[in-house]
Chains A and B, each alone.
Chain A
C-alpha cells in the first residue's frame, strides 16, 4: 500500500445560515491533502462568500435541503462517472471538529489493515455498524453489487431515526451480508471499554431518575443493555494524543452522557487551539436551530464525585 492511492472524497455540508464555519473550511482543506477529487455537496443556501470560499478548495454541488447527509453522499457519488477509477471512496459530513491528526497519517495507518470498509469508529449500538460521519470504501467494495445496490436503492428520508436505521445501520448490514469486513481507525482498548461501560451506566441511571418512578424499571430494562456510543462515551480520547482524531459537535452541544461537555470543549480549545478556533462561537450561534432531543441534555456539570471519576 505504498504506491499512491487515488481517492475520491464526498463531503456533505449544511449550514442554517448558508455559511461555511471556519472549522468546516479547515476540514475540507485537510481533505484536499488526501483527495484526488473532492466534492462538497451542500444543502445550505450558500452565501456568495461561502460559495467562493468553498469553491476555492473543492467542487461544490448545491442541492435542496432534504434527505440528510446520506442523500448528499448519494448525490456526490452519482456526480462521478466512474467510481471504480478510485482506490478509495470516502464519504464524510460536517458534524465534527477535526482531524486532530493529519489525514495522511490516518490513511497510512489504515493502509495495512485487512478491512474492506472502514470509518473512524465502530458502534455496537443496536447492531455492529460504522458511524456514518466518516466512511471509507475500498476499490473492490466500490465495484461490488452490494455497494451499487445500496446507493441505487436509496430514496430520500426526512426522519432522523429512519435515516439511522435504513442507511447508517443498513449500509453496514449490506456490507457485512456481502461478505465484507468492517474496521475502524479508533480501536477501543480494555481501559476504554471499562470507562465507557461505567459512563454508560451513569448515563442510563441519571436519565432514569428523572423519569416518573413507575417508568424506572421499563426504562432501565430498555436502556441498560444497549452498548455505548463511542463518539460520546469516549469523546475525550481526542485529548489522548488524538487517538480519536475527531470530536462530534453533538457531544459538545448535548452532552448525552452528562459528563461535562463544557469542560471537554475547554480542554480541546486549550489542547488544539487552531482546530477549535471558532467552534464555541459556532455552537452558540446555531444553538437555537438545534433544539434538545430525547435523552439529551445540553451542556451539563455533573456532581463533583462523578466528575472526578467519570467526567471528561
Chain B
C-alpha cells in the first residue's frame, strides 16, 4: 500500500506522468461509477444543461469537469453532503470514493434524505450492494417507499415518500438549471458579428425616412451636468449621424460651470440642437424633461461623455420602422483595463431580471411608450437605466439590432461617475422593486395567529441546518419559515430543499442572483402568509423559544417592532437598539461592547425596554405595518436596514390618526453571532451610514440618560468613531461611568456595591454553556447580585472588551490558561482546577488568591510567598436540596459524568465488581456495555433529583486534584441534596461531610463498600438532612460570594 502510494507520489511530480496518472485515474473512476449503476444520465443532463450521446460520455463528463462544477451523478448521491469539505478536491472524486472505500459505507450518508444507519439496520445486506446502501435502495425501492427525515434536524421528525423526494429534487434542480442558464447567458463577449453589422448598415443606407413635415424622426436626449469639455464631442457625434431627421435635446441639469456657455455656442450654429435647463434634479429628471419636450416618433439617449457611431440612428430607425418595433437596442463596445468587450446579446425579460444586457446609450424607444411608462424613476440615484429597461420589458420586447452604436471606456477611477459615487446596493433597490409586487403583497390574505420567520440563507447550509433546528420547538403554534436563497450552488439548493422538507413548515424561495439582506427579506415577506413576521438571520444562534418571546412583545398594540438582545462574535452586545442623543441623525448603538448582562439589566423591569430605534439584524413586526411602508430599503447593504425600517414604522404611525408606536428590545430573546453576515466592504459600511444620516438628519435628538441609568450607568459624554476621513459621519459611543454606592439592604448592607467581571475559560456560545465552569460562574454571579453587586460573566473572547474599564473587580476562575490581571480593577484569582498550571508569578500578580484545594493553598502559598486562602467548591442550594425527590426511589448506584476520553476508575472498579452502575454522560460507548448508559446529558435539576433518589452516588477526582485536596463540586451537590456518596480518597473529605461521604482505598475496598447496604455505611436520613442544611449554609455560592466581597472590599483603593 505504502509502496503504491510512494510510486504515485513520484509519478505525480513529473508533468508528463502526472497527466498520464490523471488520465488513468479518470478512466478507473468512470469505470467504477458505470459498474455501480449509481449514475443517472437523465438527472445529470438536466444539471449540465445538455444531452449526452451515451452513458459513457455522461460519466466521463462528470468525472472530468462536472463534479468540480458541483454536479451530482445520481439523485441520491450529493457529493457536497457526502464530503462537505473535500468535494472540490482534484485528487478525490466523492462517488468513486464512496463506491471503493467501503469502510464507512454503513455510517456515512451520501444524501440528506438518506438515513444510512437506519437503512443498514433494516437491510444489513445493503452494504454488499455494488452501489452501496444507497444503490441498494435505488435498485429495490418502489415509488411508495418511505424515507425518514428525522436525522436531518436534531429533534426533527417526519417521513417522505420516495416519489415525493424525486419530485422535490427534480423541481429544485430544474429551477436551478433554468436560473443557471439565465445567469450564464453571454451578456458580454469579446467579439461581435461584424458582417451582420455591415449588412444592417448597408440595408439602412438606402432607406428613406417617412416624411414628417419637418418634424424630427428621432429626439435625442442628452443630460449634462458640468461637463463642458466632453459634451461637445457627444453633440458632434449626433451631428455626424447619417440620419438627418433628428432633434437634439440637451438637458442642462443645473450646471455650475461654463457648460451653459459652451452649449449656447453650439446652438448658435445648429438649430436642430435645443438646450433645456432645470434646477439640479438628477439625471432621471433631466431625461424626463427631454422626453416631455421630444417631438420625434422615437427617443434615443446619449450621455454627455459618450459618442455614437455615425450610422447608429439610421440603422436603428430603419429597422424599427420596417419591423414596427416599439423598442430596440444596438451593440455597445466597452473598453476596460485594456480589453474591449461587446454587449451584443439578445435576451428577454427573464434575462433582464437576472442582469442587464442593454446599454441605455444604444437604446431607442418609441416616444409614446416612454411616456406611457412614466419615463425614468426620479428617486433612483443609480441603476436608472436598468430600472427603465425592466419596466419597458413589461410592455414590449426589446430586440437587438446588430449595429455597433457606440464604444465607451469604463474608467473605474473617474470619481465624477455615478458608478463610483453611489453604492452598488441601488442594484438591489431596483431588483426589489421589480421582484416584489407590493400591491398584491398588501392585498394577499394573512393568516391570523401565524408567525412567519423570514431569513436569507447563504451557501453555508450547516448554518441553515442549525437555524431550522432552533425553530423546531419555537413555542409558536403556527409557525412558517421562509428561506431566501440567492444564486446558491446547486448542491446547496438541494440540501436546503431537503432541510426545509424535514422542518415541515419551511419553504425556500430561490433568487437568480445574489442578494443583500433587505432585498432578501422583502422577497421573503412577499412570499409569507403570517400576520406577524420575524426578520431573522441564520448567522445568529438564538436561544430556544426566542420567536415566541419576541412576537409576544407585539401583543401590546403600541409596540411596532421588537428585537432580541444581539451579541457579536465576542459575546458582547452588538445590537440592543440605538438612540439619537445629539441632533443630525447620528446613531448611538445602545450598550455596544457591553456584556450581555447589562442588556438584561436594562430590561429588568418587564424583560424589555423601549428604544428610539432597533438595530442588529433580527426584528419582529406586524406584516401589514411593514407592507404599508414597502418593506425594507435595500439601499442599506447588510446594515442599518432594520434601524431605518423601525424609524419608518414609527414615522408612519406618529401624528394624528396614527396609533403611535414603540420599538422594544426583548431581553429574554437573545442571540449570538456565530456566522459572518456579508458586511460588504468598508465602503458599503460608510455608504450605509451616510445614507442613514442623510435620511434621518431631522430625527429628534433625545436624551438617553434614563435608559443608560436603567442599565446602571451614567453617560459622561459621547465619542464619535467609525468615521472615514472626510465627511462621512461615524456612530456615537457613550462613555459611561458607574457610581459605586453602598449596599443598603440584606447581609451585605454597608459594603460597596461593586461591578464584577467573572472570567471563565469556557468559550462563548452554546458549546461553552455546556461547561461546568459556565454554570459555576452563572451561579456565583447570581449570588453576587443577591449581595447587591453587579456581576457579568466574561468568556475568553471578551476578556479585552472596551468596557472593561467599568469593572471594579476582576475575578478569574482559573482554567487552563493564565489571564492577565486588569490594572484598573481589584484582581482576584480562584483556582478551582488544574492547580499544577498556576505559577508563583501568576499568583503574585493578583490582589488575592483562593484555592478550592486545602493542601495546595498551603503549599503554593509557601512556594510563592503569597497568601492563598482556601475557598472550597460549593453548591447551589436552591437547586440542590433534599426536597427535590424522595430518597431511595432512584438508581441503586449512580454515576453522572463524561469520560473525557478515559475510562474513569471508579466506574471501572464498580463494573468489574459486577455492580450495575447507571451512567449519565457521553463518551462511554468505547469502554462499556451501552446498556449502562441511561442518558447523554442531565440538566441541573434532573441531576439534583437523581442524586437525592439514588441509593449511592459514585464520585472520583482527577489525580492531581485529589492529591492537592480539590474536593469536587459533585460532593457538595450530592450532599446538599441529601444524597450519599462513595468517592475516591481525598484528605479530610469524610470529616467535611460526616455520614454522607465514604471513601475507598482501592478496587477491592470499593467492591466491599458497594456490597454493604447503604444504611450501614451512611448516617440516617435525619442526620443527612441536617448536614444538607449545614452545607447549604456554609458551602453555598452565597457564602463564597460573601467571602469574595469582603476580600474585594478590603483591597479596594480609597
Q: B242-272 toward A: CB 8 Å interface, digit per residue (1/0)?
A: 0000000000000001110110111011000
Within the complex, what minimum Cβ distance (angstroms) separates A88 from chain B?
12
Report yes or no: B232 in contact with A179, Cβ–Cβ below 8 A: yes
For A114, the chain B residues whose CB sits under 8 A away are 265-266, 269
Name B205-233 residues within 8 Å CB distance of A.
228-229, 231-232
Report yes or no: A116 in contact with B228, Cβ–Cβ below 8 A: no
Give the residue name and chain of the B residue nearest to A140 (CB).
B264
For A141, the chain B residues whose CB sits under 8 A away are 261, 265
Within the complex, what minimum Cβ distance (angstroms) separates B234 from chain A?
12
Name B533-558 residues within 8 Å CB distance of A.
none
Report yes or no: B258 in contact with A179, Cβ–Cβ below 8 A: yes
Report yes or no: A178 in contact with B268, Cβ–Cβ below 8 A: no
Within the complex, what minimum Cβ distance (angstroms) separates B274 from chain A?
15
Give the residue name and chain of the A residue nearest to B232 (CB).
A179
Report yes or no: B232 in contact with A178, Cβ–Cβ below 8 A: no
Name A125-152 residues within 8 Å CB distance of B.
138-141, 143-146
Report yes or no: A179 in contact with B229, Cβ–Cβ below 8 A: yes
Report yes or no: A144 in contact with B268, Cβ–Cβ below 8 A: no
Q: How many A-B residue pairs have CB under 8 A?
A: 45
Report yes or no: A116 in contact with B257, Cβ–Cβ below 8 A: no
Report the Cα distance A180→B228, complex, angstroms.
Answer: 8
Report yes or no: B257 in contact with A145, Cβ–Cβ below 8 A: yes
Identify whether the interface residues of B are mostly helix, strand, loop, or mixed.
helix
Report yes or no: A181 in contact with B265, Cβ–Cβ below 8 A: yes
Report yes or no: A180 in contact with B265, Cβ–Cβ below 8 A: yes
Within the complex, what minimum Cβ distance (angstroms) separates A115 from chain B?
8
Report yes or no: B265 in contact with A177, Cβ–Cβ below 8 A: no
Task: Decide yes or no: A179 and B231 within 8 Å by CB, A144-B258, A145-B258 being known contacts.
Answer: yes
Report the Cα distance A78→B358, complex, angstroms.
Answer: 53
Report the Cα distance A47→B378, complex, angstroms.
Answer: 68
For A145, the chain B residues whose CB sits under 8 A away are 257-258, 261
Report yes or no: B265 in contact with A178, Cβ–Cβ below 8 A: no
Report the Cα distance A144→B264, complex, angstroms.
Answer: 10
For A146, the chain B residues whose CB sits under 8 A away are 258, 261
For A116, the chain B residues whose CB sits under 8 A away are 262, 265
For B257, the chain A residues whose CB sits under 8 A away are 145, 178
Report the Cα distance A178→B265, complex, angstroms.
Answer: 12
Report yes or no: B258 in contact with A178, Cβ–Cβ below 8 A: yes
Report yes or no: B265 in contact with A138, Cβ–Cβ below 8 A: yes
| Candidate in B231, B258, B262, B269 with the most chain A CB atoms within 10 angstroms | B258
Within the complex, what minimum Cβ distance (angstroms) separates A138 from chain B?
6
Report the Cα distance A112→B257, complex, angstroms.
Answer: 26
Within the complex, what minimum Cβ distance (angstroms) separates B620 from chain A?
56
For A177, the chain B residues whose CB sits under 8 A away are 229
Task: Decide yes or no: A138 and B268 within 8 Å by CB, A178-B228, A179-B231, A181-B232 being known contacts.
Answer: yes
For B269, the chain A residues whose CB sits under 8 A away are 112, 114
Report the Cα distance A177→B261, complex, angstroms.
Answer: 13
Report yes or no: A140 in contact with B231, Cβ–Cβ below 8 A: no
Report the Cα distance A178→B259, complex, angstroms.
Answer: 8
For B229, the chain A residues whose CB sits under 8 A away are 177, 179
Report the Cα distance A131→B261, complex, angstroms.
Answer: 23
Identify whether the interface residues of A are mostly helix, strand, loop, or mixed.
loop
Within the complex, what minimum Cβ distance (angstroms) separates B19 from chain A?
58
Q: A98-140 toward B: CB 8 Å interface, digit per residue (1/0)?
A: 0000000000000010101000000000000000000000111
Within the complex, what minimum Cβ distance (angstroms) separates A4 from chain B?
15
Within the complex, what minimum Cβ distance (angstroms) separates B516 from chain A?
40
Within the complex, what minimum Cβ distance (angstroms) separates A49 from chain B?
43
Report the Cα distance A179→B258, complex, angstroms.
Answer: 7
Report yes or no: A143 in contact with B261, Cβ–Cβ below 8 A: yes
| Candidate in A140, A145, A146 with the most chain B CB atoms within 10 angstroms | A140
Within the complex, what minimum Cβ distance (angstroms) separates A135 from chain B?
16
Give the residue name and chain of the B residue nearest to A176 (CB).
B229
Report the Cα distance A186→B229, complex, angstroms.
Answer: 25
Within the complex, what minimum Cβ distance (angstroms) separates A56 from chain B?
35
Report yes or no: A179 in contact with B264, Cβ–Cβ below 8 A: no
Within the complex, what minimum Cβ distance (angstroms) separates A140 from chain B?
4
Report the Cα distance A179→B264, complex, angstroms.
Answer: 12
Report the Cα distance A91→B111, complex, angstroms.
Answer: 88
For B258, the chain A residues whose CB sits under 8 A away are 144-146, 178-180
Report yes or no: A140 in contact with B261, Cβ–Cβ below 8 A: yes
For B264, the chain A residues whose CB sits under 8 A away are 139-140, 143
Within the complex, what minimum Cβ distance (angstroms) separates B216 from chain A?
21
For A112, the chain B residues whose CB sits under 8 A away are 269
Give the residue name and chain of the A residue nearest to B257 (CB).
A145
Give the residue name and chain of the A residue nearest to B231 (CB).
A179
Within the complex, what minimum Cβ distance (angstroms) separates B804 from chain A?
58
Report the Cα distance A243→B728, complex, angstroms.
Answer: 61
Q: A142-170 toward B: CB 8 Å interface, digit per residue (1/0)?
A: 01111000000000000000000000000
Within the complex, what minimum Cβ distance (angstroms) separates A2 from chain B?
13
Report the Cα distance A144→B261, complex, angstroms.
Answer: 6
Report the Cα distance A148→B887, complex, angstroms.
Answer: 103
Report yes or no: B228 in contact with A140, Cβ–Cβ below 8 A: no
Give the residue name and chain of the A residue nearest to B256 (CB).
A145
For B232, the chain A residues whose CB sits under 8 A away are 179, 181
Report yes or no: A140 in contact with B259, Cβ–Cβ below 8 A: no
Report the Cα distance A5→B442, complex, angstroms.
Answer: 65
Report the Cα distance A279→B110, complex, angstroms.
Answer: 106
For B268, the chain A residues whose CB sits under 8 A away are 138, 140
Report the Cα distance A96→B229, complex, angstroms.
Answer: 33
Report the Cα distance A311→B269, complex, angstroms.
Answer: 40
Report the Cα distance A139→B261, complex, angstroms.
Answer: 9
Report the Cα distance A146→B266, complex, angstroms.
Answer: 17
Within the complex, what minimum Cβ distance (angstroms) separates B730 from chain A?
36
Report the Cα distance A310→B535, complex, angstroms.
Answer: 87
Q: B259's contact among A138, A179, A181, by CB below 8 Å, is which?
A: A179
Report the Cα distance A262→B1024, complex, angstroms.
Answer: 137
Report the Cα distance A141→B265, complex, angstroms.
Answer: 8
Q: B323-356 toward A: CB 8 Å interface, digit per residue (1/0)?
A: 0000000000000000000000000000000000
Report the Cα distance A115→B228, complex, angstroms.
Answer: 15
Within the complex, what minimum Cβ distance (angstroms) separates B996 from chain A?
96
Within the complex, what minimum Cβ distance (angstroms) separates A181 from chain B?
7
Report the Cα distance A191→B265, complex, angstroms.
Answer: 32
Give the residue name and chain of the B residue nearest to A149 (CB).
B258
Within the complex, what minimum Cβ distance (angstroms) separates B623 from chain A?
54
Report the Cα distance A180→B259, complex, angstroms.
Answer: 9
| Candidate in A116, A144, A178, A179 with the most chain B CB atoms within 10 angstroms | A179
Within the complex, what minimum Cβ distance (angstroms) separates A250 from chain B?
32
Report the Cα distance A178→B230, complex, angstroms.
Answer: 10
Report the Cα distance A179→B262, complex, angstroms.
Answer: 6
Within the complex, what minimum Cβ distance (angstroms) separates B268 from chain A?
7
Within the complex, what minimum Cβ distance (angstroms) separates A107 from chain B?
15
For A179, the chain B residues whose CB sits under 8 A away are 228-229, 231-232, 258-259, 261-262
Report the Cα distance A29→B259, complex, angstroms.
Answer: 37
Report the Cα distance A177→B228, complex, angstroms.
Answer: 8
Report the Cα distance A145→B228, complex, angstroms.
Answer: 12
For B262, the chain A residues whose CB sits under 8 A away are 116, 140, 178-180
Report the Cα distance A141→B263, complex, angstroms.
Answer: 11
Within the complex, what minimum Cβ distance (angstroms) separates B364 from chain A?
27
Report the Cα distance A145→B262, complex, angstroms.
Answer: 11
Report the Cα distance A143→B261, complex, angstroms.
Answer: 7
Q: B101-141 toward A: CB 8 Å interface, digit per residue (1/0)?
A: 00000000000000000000000000000000000000000
Give the residue name and chain of the B residue nearest to A139 (CB).
B264
A sample of 13 inter-chain contacts (CB < 8 A) reads: A138-B265, A139-B264, A140-B262, A141-B261, A141-B265, A143-B261, A146-B261, A178-B228, A178-B257, A179-B229, A179-B258, A180-B261, A181-B265
What 3 pairs across the A-B complex have the smallest Cβ distances? A179-B228, A140-B264, A144-B261
| Residues of B participating in the A interface, judged by any CB pair closer than 8 Å | 228-229, 231-232, 257-259, 261-262, 264-266, 268-269
Other A-B contacts than A112-B269, A145-B258, A180-B262, 18 sampled, CB-CB below 8 A, are A114-B266, A114-B269, A116-B262, A139-B264, A140-B265, A140-B268, A143-B261, A145-B257, A146-B261, A178-B257, A178-B262, A179-B228, A179-B232, A179-B258, A179-B259, A179-B261, A181-B232, A181-B265
